[in-house]
Structure 1
Amino acid sequence: MWTTIILGIYILITLSIVVAILLYGAKPSKSLAWLLAIFAIPVGGIILYLLLGRNRRKNKLIALKRNLFTKLPSPGTDLVNSFEGRYRKLMTLFYNNSHFPPVGDNDLQLLKDGKTTFDAIFNALEQAQREIHIQYYIYEDGELADKLWVLFKTKIAMGVKVRMIYDGIGSFSLSKAYLKKLQVIGVEVYPFLPFKFGRFFSSLNYRNHRKIIVVDGQIAFTGGINISDKYLKGDPGLGKWHDMHLKITGPAANHLNQVFMMDWYLVCQELLEPLENPTGITKSKIDTLVQIVSGGPDDDFPALEQTYFSIINAAKKYVYITNPYIIPNQALIKALQTAALGGVDVRLLVSENADNRLVSWAVHSYFETFLKSGVKIYLFPDGFLHSKIIVSDDAISSIGTANLDDRSFEQNYEVNAIIYEKKFAELLKADFLRDSGTGNMLTYDAYVGRPWTKKLKEGIGKIFSPIL
């Protein structure tokens, strides 16, 4: 009798999931793969689907109305019509997705690697007079964390509000003792979707991959660098970690602050108000146009995927991409191939060393088809390259947290800064050329002759690439 009841429940669950896939499946290829998995792997297929397969754009775990957090005009207003220049279409796209318009009067500082980045971050934090907002995917115990604790304690004693968000899975190793120390000194700290059995299936696969610091609503940082001592001391297995970060002083910093405030509402249901009469700051005379693009699994459209896709398609002369996890979907594959075959100088810079073998196999599995279409690929040999950069035509560039993979496009909360400025693009281009100049350039003839064992590993990686 019990066997019949359990079998009946299993059949009902299976049928309900099949109906959900047919109704809400985002992509036919993925829907077919999940249907095959569910029928081919009893029980296990269902568990995998509940963990990794649900289309959250249709089944929203968190209902968030952006107009609670921003008074920016809605798409279709005169603001959109005021966008000018070659990238007007891109500006409109990014605005319609994230509701942040491009804003001028920004001063930018490019920060390469850990020491330079954390020197700038601590210098800015020491200037804080009213509030510090800090949000990281990975926040680890160590010297950096201890130094931040001391600074927070000093600032809170001066009356500065300190609010902190850490990802519940990315920062899983962050000790309860450290979190308790933060709470004791008055830091308001919350995890983003922490590991809890009750909502294990609904939240495990959706992570907040953003890295944001905002000081007094006017100085902000974002990029690829997490709070981890490996950015200063290196990694025993990989060596030195190389990464890029960005300091923004000006109106775009406030837009990053609004991204933080939206996430703050998600973690504690508190609606923060922007600072009134913010304190004055010293800026250079450089006036750079910046647009913030944020995206997550609850949004209607994959904003970061569309961002990369559009920049690649808009390229006339060149597009250079630095990213550790280039596991593109079919749209991005075609965009890169079409650009290269159309005469655009397309170059990819990827770390030769990897922090995950399966992910590395998946990344390499796309190299042959890229090389065949004329895309140039360079492997960076020194340590681990973690930067997420794209620069094109000495005119537009992007620095942020999003990788070129389905996880960043579909499952993670991400944020990028789009910069419309010639000198800044030239700066990133020069940096790309220096790093790629030290790398190993792949050629199609040599790569196509790689050992069959390597091809087999790449095939395995490619199979798992949609869920990595």
Structure 2
Amino acid sequence: MWTSILFGIYILITLSIVIAILLYGARPSKSLAWLLAIFAIPVGGIILYLLLGRNRRKNKLVQLKRNLFKRLPKPDQNQVGAFEGKYKRLMTLFYNNSHFPPIGNNKLQLLKDGKTTFDVIFNALEQAQREIHIQYYIFEEGELANALLLLFERKVLEGVKVRMIYDGIGSFSLSKVYLKKLVALGVEVYPFLPFKFGRFFSSLNYRNHRKIIVVDGHTAFTGGINISDKYLKGEPGVGKWHDMHLKIDGPAASHLNQVFMMDWYLVCQELLEPLEHVDSVYKLKEDSLVQIVSGGPDDDFSALEQTYFSIINTAKKYVYITNPYIIPSQALLKALQTAALSGVDVRLLVSENGDNRLVSWSVHSYFESFLKSGIKIYLFPDGFLHSKIIVSDDAISSIGTANLDDRSFEQNYEVNAIVYEKEFAELLKSDFLKDSGSGHLLTYDEYVERPWTKKLKEGIGKIFSPLF
């Protein structure tokens, strides 16, 4: 009897999930993958879907964000008509997605790897006079975290307001002892969707992957680097982590601050007031513009996927991409192939060493499709390359937190800085050529002759790639 009842409940749950997938599935390929998982793996497929597959664009976070937008000043729609230059359409797209216009008069500093980046970050934090906003996906205890604790103690005593957001899953190892120390110092700290058994299925999959620091509303940092000693000491079995970060001094920093303020509202429902008002008159010089693009699962459109797609499609001469997780959607795959086949120099720089075997298999499973179309793939051999960079035509660049995978596009909260500046693009291009020059250029013949065991692993990875 009990067996029949349990089986009946299982059938009802399965049917309800299948109907939900058919009604709210984000993409056909992903929906099909989930349907196959549910029917091929009884019970386990349902658990995986509840953990990783549900579309929550209409949940509480969406309503909170919409309430926030109602309270914030409305963007001036007339600014869109003022966009100029060959990237006018891209500027308009990014503006319509994220509501941040391109803005000039910024001083930019490209930061590479942990020591350089953290030296500059700590120096900027020491200069804070009014407020520090800090937000990270991974915040791990160690030398860096302890140094920040001491710095926060000094700044709070000086009267500086310190606010901090950490992701509840990415920073799961962050101890209660450390958090209590922060609170005791006077730091306002909140987790983003913390791990709780009571809402395990609703909190696991949607993460805040952003890395943002804003000092006094006018100096900001973003990029791929997290607060972790592995950027200084390395990680067993992987080696030293290599990454890129960007320091922004100027009006664009206030836009990153608004992204932080939106996330602050999501975690504690407090609406912060900006320290200073950004002038509504924007000097749109093609060589000095920065535009912030933020995206998350509660947006109407996949802002970061459209950002990458548009930059690739706009490229005339070259597009160079550094990213550890290139698991493209069909749209991005076609965009990359089309660009390469039409004569654009398309190059990918990927870490030879991965931090997750299944994800690495999935990344490598797309290599044949890339190589067939003439895309050059360079494998970076030293440690783990974690940068998220795109540079094209010595004119436009993107640096930020978003990977080229479905998780960044559909499930994570991400943020990128788009830079319309020749000198900055040339700097990133030079760095790409230097790193790719020390890597291994993968050829098509070499790839197709790989052992069958690797082919099998990559086949497994590709099957699961729509679920990442």
Normalization by structure 2: what TM-score? 0.95
Q: Is residue 230 of structure 1 aligned with residue 240 of structure 2?
A: no
Distance (whole Å) between structure 1 residues aligned to residue 229 and residue 84 of structure 2: 43
Alignment of structure 1 residues 208-287 onto 2, 5 Å = 208-276=208-276
Alignment of structure 1 residues 60-459 onto 2, 5 Å = 61-63=61-63, 64-65=65-66, 66-68=68-70, 70-73=72-75, 77-276=77-276, 288-459=288-459
Shift of 1:45: 1.8
1:201/1:112 Cα in 2 relative to 1: closer, same or farther (>3 Å)? same
Structure 1 range deviating more: 114-123 or 25-34: 25-34
Shift of 1:19: 1.6
Distance (whole Å) between structure 2 residues aligned to residue 287 and residue 373 of structure 1: 32
Shift of 1:94: 0.6
For 1:417, what is the secondary structure of its paired residue?
strand
Structure 1 range deviating more: 451-460 or 52-61: 52-61
Shift of 1:217: 0.5
Distance (whole Å) between structure 1 residues aligned to residue 189 and residue 207 of structure 2: 17
Shift of 1:454: 1.0
Distance (whole Å) between structure 1 residues aligned to residue 71 and residue 222 of structure 2: 20
Shift of 1:72: 4.3
Match of 1:42 in 2: 42
Determine what percentage of the aligned residue pairs are the same residue: 84
Match of 1:282 in 2: none
Shift of 1:13: 2.0
Distance (whole Å) between structure 1 residues aligned to residue 207 and residue 88 of structure 2: 31
Shift of 1:342: 0.2
Distance (whole Å) between structure 2 residues aligned to residue 207 and residue 417 of structure 1: 20
Shift of 1:69: 6.0
For 1:292, what is the secondary structure of its paired residue?
strand
Structure 1 runs, 4 residues or longer, greater than 6 Å off: none
For 2:236, what is the secondary structure of its paired residue?
coil
Shift of 1:256: 0.4
CA deviation vs aligned residue, 1:339-378 (integer Å, no higher than 9, x gap): 0000000000011111111111111111111011000010
Match of 1:57 in 2: 57
1:210/1:195 Cα in 2 relative to 1: closer, same or farther (>3 Å)? same
Structure 1 range deviating more: 173-182 or 34-43: 34-43
Q: Which amino acid aligns with 1:67?
A: F
Normalization by structure 1: what TM-score? 0.95
1:277/1:254 Cα in 2 relative to 1: closer, same or farther (>3 Å)? closer
CA deviation vs aligned residue, 1:143-196 (integer Å, no higher than 9, x gap): 100110111000000110000000011111111111110010000001110100
Structure 1 range deviating more: 356-365 or 396-405: 356-365
Distance (whole Å) between structure 1 residues aligned to residue 384 and residue 305 of structure 2: 24
1:84/1:195 Cα in 2 relative to 1: closer, same or farther (>3 Å)? same
Q: Which amino acid aligns with 2:75?
A: P
CA contact (8 A) 1:101 1:291 kept: yes
CA contact (8 A) 1:98 1:294 kept: yes
Shift of 1:6: 3.0
Distance (whole Å) between structure 2 residues aligned to residue 58 and residue 364 of structure 1: 34
For 2:266, what is the secondary structure of its paired residue?
helix
Structure 1 range deviating more: 194-203 or 60-69: 60-69
Shift of 1:12: 2.4
Q: Which amino acid aligns with 1:36?
A: L
1:382/1:298 Cα in 2 relative to 1: closer, same or farther (>3 Å)? same
CA contact (8 A) 2:33 2:466 kept: no
Distance (whole Å) between structure 2 residues aligned to residue 113 and residue 247 of structure 1: 13
Shift of 1:68: 4.3
CA contact (8 A) 1:24 1:58 kept: no
Shift of 1:455: 0.8
CA contact (8 A) 1:362 1:458 kept: yes
1:259/1:233 Cα in 2 relative to 1: closer, same or farther (>3 Å)? same
1:61/1:125 Cα in 2 relative to 1: closer, same or farther (>3 Å)? closer
1:277/1:325 Cα in 2 relative to 1: closer, same or farther (>3 Å)? closer
Distance (whole Å) between structure 2 residues aligned to residue 14 and residue 58 of structure 1: 21
1:100/1:143 Cα in 2 relative to 1: closer, same or farther (>3 Å)? same
1:293/1:96 Cα in 2 relative to 1: closer, same or farther (>3 Å)? same
Shift of 1:445: 1.5
Gaps of 5+ in 1: 279-285
CA contact (8 A) 1:102 1:291 kept: yes
Q: Which amino acid aligns with 1:374?
A: G
1:36/1:164 Cα in 2 relative to 1: closer, same or farther (>3 Å)? same
CA deviation vs aligned residue, 1:255-304 (integer Å, no higher than 9, x gap): 000000111111111111111479xxxxxxx9720000000111111111
CA deviation vs aligned residue, 1:199-226 (integer Å, no higher than 9, x gap): 1111101111000000011000000000
Match of 2:461 in 1: 461
Distance (whole Å) between structure 1 residues aligned to residue 107 and residue 44 of structure 2: 52
Count of residues paired in the alignment: 459
1:70/1:287 Cα in 2 relative to 1: closer, same or farther (>3 Å)? farther
Gaps of 5+ in 2: 279-285
